[in-house]
């Protein structure tokens, strides 16, 4: 096992919160009696991060991510516990933190470089590289208070990555950079990873965490919920987020989500009892019936459970199950849903993820304006999506079906199966990046100047059409 770069033992952080600003003043003027409420932003955090790891930290707003990063970066002291950091830390924390707004960009580069332990000469040697990376032109000699948030982060990242850190800490800041800059940041982060650097970063984008990280940490209400493979954390966090959304919908949408159109009655299924028997087991352990998430880390499905996906199949043209497809193959994705309650506005959809859990595409009945009538309890809904397999890179993919009640923007997630089906996509042709465009027209012309004096031009034209 590699060396340990960061260790946290029983780290907690308590902030003081004052109901009124005057209480803070009173406490200073009349010491002895605390007038603040205690707020524990982190509780008993135990963590070991090895050298060379890239660790993504996820969690909803206010869960304690920045507090944790600041404690590791050394800009905040924990209330209790022990922190050991081995290696030079360069931190890109809250936007502009560490920059003096009255100083110019240039002055701030020197100021920050010195704070990070570089000598004047070292910073002078690196200055052009830093300014070149930040690419903010003449603004480098303007006070940073005149910078846009994007310019701020450009300079801050340029400093952070160019001061030879061993541990790089990035707190969401990159979210405000433009596409070109993010691309460059990602390239430098990759190079830093390859050189054996340790990275900790906060992101709300699970795709980025899955792509970049070797490990992920999920924090909620100041506690570590789970540490593990980014892919697992991504699924569990997604499940939990939907739980929150469902709770919110329940509270705020009791009336809004009520049935407006007439219910279409359907013939009850002949073998409904059998199906119910098979699925009742699952329902009993449905984690969304009031249990805290912590108790069911290893779920592979989530939702309120008012309806349940009981079968999901990928079929070829002759209705045979397939696990291997080629681009342009026609396939059918068949989702069967059993209802346990009245579902007023059913939406059935499927997400396609790659092996790093990057969402490749998603489609659902609502989006394609395929209206599904309201369902009664104990009905079986079968939805079949017929499609041409996209021209994506060859490899392993995951298809995940889901059933929701509501609209695209505002729905209750009833059941979402995570990782029910792996499908291998064969590669038929060269594909660069994620997918290959299915229809590209290419034309070209070559113009030759045959005699400069006559200025005579001969043009050869050609056109190819690839559909």
Ligand X SMILES: Nc1ncnc2c1ncn2[C@@H]1O[C@H](COP(=O)(O)OP(=O)(O)OP(=O)(O)O)[C@@H](O)[C@H]1O
Please identify, using beta-carbon distances, which residue of 24 and 88 lies nearer to ligand X. 24
Does 63 contact ligand X by CB under 6 A?
A: yes
Pairing of strands 37-50, 167-171: unpaired
**Residue 15 sits in the site that holds ligand X (CB under 6 A):** yes
Element (H, E) at 324: strand 324-325
Contacting residue, 56, 64, 105, 401, with ligand X by CB under 6 A: 64
Q: How far is the CB of 82 from ligand X (least distance, A)?
A: 19
Least separation, in Å, of the C-beta of 19 and ligand X?
A: 12
**Binder of ligand X out of 49, 65, 366, 379 (CB under 6 A):** 65
Stretch that binds ligand X, among 64-72, 129-137, 270-278, 346-354 (CB under 6 A): 64-72
Residue by residue, DSSP assigns 232-297 as HHHHHHHHHHHHHHHHHHHHH-TTTTS--SPPPP-PPPTTHHHHHHHHHHHHHT-TTTT--GGGGT
Q: Which CB sits closer to ligand X, 67 or 257?
A: 67
Closest CA to 238 of 347, 353, 102: 353
447 touching ligand X, by CB under 6 A = no
| Token code pair at residue 462 | 């050609």
DSSP state of 178: -
Asked if 67 is part of the footprint of ligand X (rule: CB under 6 A), the reply reads yes
Give yes or no for residue 61 binding ligand X (CB under 6 A): yes
Q: Is 59 in the site for ligand X (CB under 6 A)?
A: yes
With contact defined as beta carbons under 8 Å apart, do 68 and 76 qualify? no
Please tell me the distance from the alpha carbon of residue 390 to that of residue 156, in angstroms, as a whole number: 40
Please, what is the minimum distance in Å from the beta carbon of residue 245 to ligand X? 17
Alpha-carbon span 426 to 324, nearest angstrom: 7
Task: Please list the residues that pair with 90 across neighbouring strands.
Answer: 168
Helices (H), 96-178: 105-115, 120-134, 149-162
Residue placing its CB nearer to ligand X in the complex, 62 or 132: 62
Q: Which range in 54-62, 79-87, 265-273, 334-342 contacts ligand X by CB under 6 A?
A: 54-62
Q: Select the residue interacting with ligand X from 5, 41, 134, 414 (CB under 6 A).
A: 41
Q: How big is the site for ligand X, counted in residues (CB under 6 A)?
A: 12
Least Å distance, CB 60 to ligand X, is 7
CA contacts within 13 A on the Cβ side of 321: 7
* Tally of helices (H runs) and strands (E runs) in the chain: 9, 21
Q: Is 220 in the site for ligand X (CB under 6 A)?
A: no
Q: Candidates 3, 34, 37, 39: give the one binding ligand X (CB under 6 A).
A: 39
From the list 56-64, 149-157, 336-344, 347-355, the region that binds ligand X by CB under 6 A is: 56-64
Site residues (vs ligand X, CB under 6 A): 15, 17, 39, 41, 59, 61-67
């Amino acid at each position: 096992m590699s060396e340990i770069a960061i260790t946290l033992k029983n780290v907690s952080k308590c902030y003081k919160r004052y109901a009124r600003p005057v209480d803070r003043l009173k406490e200073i003027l009349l010491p002895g009696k605390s007038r603040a409420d205690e707020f524990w932003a982190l509780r008993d955090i135990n963590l070991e991060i090895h050298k060379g790891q890239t660790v993504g930290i996820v969690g909803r707003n206010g869960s304690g991510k920045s507090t944790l990063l600041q404690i590791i970066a050394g800009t905040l002291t924990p209330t209790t516990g022990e922190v050991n950091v081995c290696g030079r830390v360069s931190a890109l924390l809250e936007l502009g933190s560490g920059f003096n707004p009255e100083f110019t960009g240039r002055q701030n580069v020197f100021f920050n470089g010195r704070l990070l332990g570089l000598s004047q000469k070292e910073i002078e040697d690196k200055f052009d590289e830093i300014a070149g990376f930040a690419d903010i032109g003449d603004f480098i000699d303007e006070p940073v208070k005149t910078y846009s948030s994007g310019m701020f982060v450009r300079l801050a990242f340029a400093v952070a990555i160019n001061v030879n850190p061993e541990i790089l800490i990035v707190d969401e800041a990159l979210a405000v950079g433009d596409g070109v800059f993010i691309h460059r940041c990602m390239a430098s982060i990759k190079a830093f990873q390859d050189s054996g650097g340790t990275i900790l970063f906060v992101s709300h984008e699970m795709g980025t965490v899955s792509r970049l990280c070797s490990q992920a940490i999920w924090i909620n209400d100041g506690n570590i919920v789970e540490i593990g493979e980014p892919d697992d954390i991504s699924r569990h966090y997604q499940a939990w987020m939907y739980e929150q959304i469902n709770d919110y919908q329940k509270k705020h949408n009791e009336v809004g989500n009520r049935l407006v159109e007439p219910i279409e009655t359907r013939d009850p299924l002949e073998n409904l009892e059998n199906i119910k028997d098979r699925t009742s087991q699952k329902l009993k352990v449905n984690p969304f019936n009031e249990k805290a998430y912590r108790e069911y880390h290893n779920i592979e499905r989530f939702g309120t459970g008012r309806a349940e996906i009981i079968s999901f199949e990928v079929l070829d043209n002759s209705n045979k199950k397939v696990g291997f497809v080629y681009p342009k193959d026609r396939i059918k994705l068949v989702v069967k849903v059993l209802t346990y309650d009245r579902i007023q506005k059913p939406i059935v959809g499927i997400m396609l993820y790659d092996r790093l859990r990057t969402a490749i595409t998603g489609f659902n009945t609502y989006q394609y304006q395929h209206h599904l009538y309201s369902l009664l309890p104990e009905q079986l809904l079968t939805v079949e999506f017929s499609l041409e397999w996209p021209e994506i890179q060859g490899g392993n993919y995951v298809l995940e079906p889901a059933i929701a009640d509501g609209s695209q923007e505002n729905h209750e997630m009833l059941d979402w199966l995570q990782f029910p089906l792996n499908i291998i996509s064969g590669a038929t042709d060269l594909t660069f990046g994620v997918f290959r465009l299915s229809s590209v027209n290419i034309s070209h012309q070559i113009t030759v100047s045959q005699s400069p004096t006559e200025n005579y031009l001969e043009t050869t034209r050609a056109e190819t059409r690839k559909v």
